[in-house]
Structure 1
Amino acid sequence: MIKIGLVDDQKYDLEKLNITLENESHLKIVFSTNNAEEAYKLIKENNIDLLITDIEMPDLSGYELADFIRSYGLGIKVIFVTAQSGYAVHAFELDVLDYIMKPFSKERLLRGINRLQQKKDKVDKTKLILKNKSEIFLIDKKNIVYIERTNRTTTIFTKEENYSTYQTLNELEEELSGSHFIRAHRGFIINIHYVKNFSLYTKNSYTVSFQGTKNTAIITKANLDKLQDRFYN
């Protein structure tokens, strides 16, 4: 799934982008706005893979949005969709994914987006891509013991060290699907390879103890039943 943000100050062009992409099953439009300053805030607040933006806009240009993304190492790719042909050289100095001229066809836009899908497919599936405000970490999934969400912070506990991120458990769960991780509780994801034992905590939950650490997690009785059915039956 590629998560996308859209920004174009022209209402018609923004609607065209939405209509073109909204029914593509491998794409998710996270936000769509005709205000570049609002897009700047939404980029910081949301986890997206790709920003599709016009270049010339009032108050804040697409160039400035792309430069912000690059300067802060957010790991977001950018596609410029513009009526102006004279900006291409400078655009690629910003390492944009594609530069598409208006009016564009659906096939042309999807071809640009597919470049990102190809890049994502090449990423080592044994790695978890972890983002925070200023850095991106590639963490070996096999070294993750458990993940905990506390208030608005998510902490990944590994064999070597811990990492904090603004990414939610739902987002990380999607990245870890198909491996030996389960959503144990609304606040925890655990790696069953490190589980030592379960101890009754309340009527409907258990504490989880792990090898190599005194830290514990929580698993609900319902999720423990699912775990037993999935791995131990």
Structure 2
Amino acid sequence: MKVGLVDDRFIDLEKLRGIASAIPQIDVVFATQSAEEAYEQIKKETIDLLIADIEMPNLSGYELADIIHSHALNIAVIFVTGSSGYAVHAFELNVHDYIMKPYSKERLIKSIERLLEKTQSAEITGRLYLKQKNDIHIIQKKDIVFIERSGRSTTIYTKSESIKTYLTLNELEGELRERDFLRSHRSFIINIHYVKSFSLYAKNSYMVTFEGIEGKAIITKDKVEFLQENYF
């Protein structure tokens, strides 16, 4: 798990770094005393978890978490703070944990381990086996970005290739029961982890763009609302 750390007090930042870096599954990508610098790092580096103080000069940790939440970034947040005044608002941002200073090493480790367990149990597992005449294509489900039905055929898009099949979207929906996949439109299934943006396409639908791929999908307005309520 890739982790970013931010706390404007050097001694507190070093405590965070020491605890997090000692956990075998954790890779500390950056540690900074500036929330602005943390924001710039988030735009450049992929991280899974941000551990942040709340009350900092200029951009606060709460504002940083709000940016993550409003942009639907797939980054968990743990607040480590000396202020209890943000607790209610913080959980409105769906933060993973709210830890009060001073805290014990064990308290933070337990929180991170709980997130690791949650993340591992939520990972997409399994494969799709697609028969095509004399060939069988095996696709890791986690690599599927989106699926499009056009005419009598269906195209499965991954970051590295596109594969055609005569399976219908209804049949593929039965294979893709993981929470990460959504039937966004009668002609599309999308993997929400790859979604980059939505832009208005028609009165009741949006165009979906994805990370790492040029292809686009369509999502209906009611499905966007469903995503906001249940995922983001």
TM-score (norm 1): 0.58
Aligned equivalents of 2:121 and 2:33: distance in 1? 33
Secondary structure of 1:60 counterpart: coil
Aligned to 2:93: 94
- For residue 85 of structure 1, report the CA deviation from its aligned partner: 1.4
8 Å contact from structure 2 (residues 146, 156) kept in 1: no
Aligned equivalents of 1:35 and 1:108: distance in 2? 24
Secondary structure of 1:128 counterpart: helix
User: 1:119-163, CA deviations, whole angstroms, 9 ceiling, x for partnerless residues?
Assistant: 212223234278xxxxxx588xxx978x7xxxxxxx432326998
Give me the CA root mean square deviation.
2.7
**Change in CA separation of 1:95 and 1:60 when aligned onto 2, cut-off 3 Å:** same
Runs of 4+ in 1 over 3 A off after TM superposition: 160-164
8 Å contact from structure 1 (residues 97, 115) kept in 2: no
Asked whether 1:125 is paired with 2:139, we answer no
**Change in CA separation of 1:79 and 1:11 when aligned onto 2, cut-off 3 Å:** same
Secondary structure of 2:103 counterpart: coil
Asked whether 1:158 is paired with 2:157, we answer no
Aligned to 1:111: 110
Aligned equivalents of 2:111 and 2:92: distance in 1? 17
State the percentage of identical aligned residues: 52
Alignment of 1:33-72 (within 5 A): 33-72=32-71
- For residue 110 of structure 1, report the CA deviation from its aligned partner: 1.1
**Change in CA separation of 1:166 and 1:52 when aligned onto 2, cut-off 3 Å:** farther
Secondary structure of 1:108 counterpart: helix
For structure 2, the residue ranges without an aligned partner over 5 or more in a row are: 127-140, 148-154, 165-187, 195-209, 214-232
Match for 2:102: what amino acid?
P
Secondary structure of 2:23 counterpart: coil
Aligned equivalents of 2:11 and 2:116: distance in 1? 27
- For residue 115 of structure 1, report the CA deviation from its aligned partner: 2.3
Aligned equivalents of 1:138 and 1:96: distance in 2? 28
Number of paired residues? 149
For structure 1, the residue ranges without an aligned partner over 5 or more in a row are: 131-136, 148-154, 168-233
